[in-house]
Amino acid sequence: MKKYECIVCGFIYDEAEGWPDDGIAPGTKWEDIPEDWACPDCGVAKSDFEMVEI
């Protein structure tokens, strides 16, 4: 399981936890998140995230 960070605001998406608020189940891989999903905090696009080391 990996974590991805929004490079604009610092929000972290953790694959292990998913993001149930937007219907993304725990365990959802980054690749499987829809391309039009936006950062829940600042609203930038999925392409503005990068992988971070845990």
Binder among 4, 8, 17, 19 for another protein (CB under 8 A): 8
Q: How far is the CB of 7 from another protein (least distance, A)?
A: 5
Please tell me whether residue 3 binds another protein under the rule CB under 8 A: no
Residue 33's SS3 state is coil
Nearest to 48 by CA among 3, 1, 4: 4
Number of residues that bind another protein (CB under 8 A): 15
**How many C-beta neighbours within 10 Å does residue 45 have?**
13
Quickly tell me which residue has 């891989």 as its tokens: 29
Binder among 19, 30, 44, 46 for another protein (CB under 8 A): 44
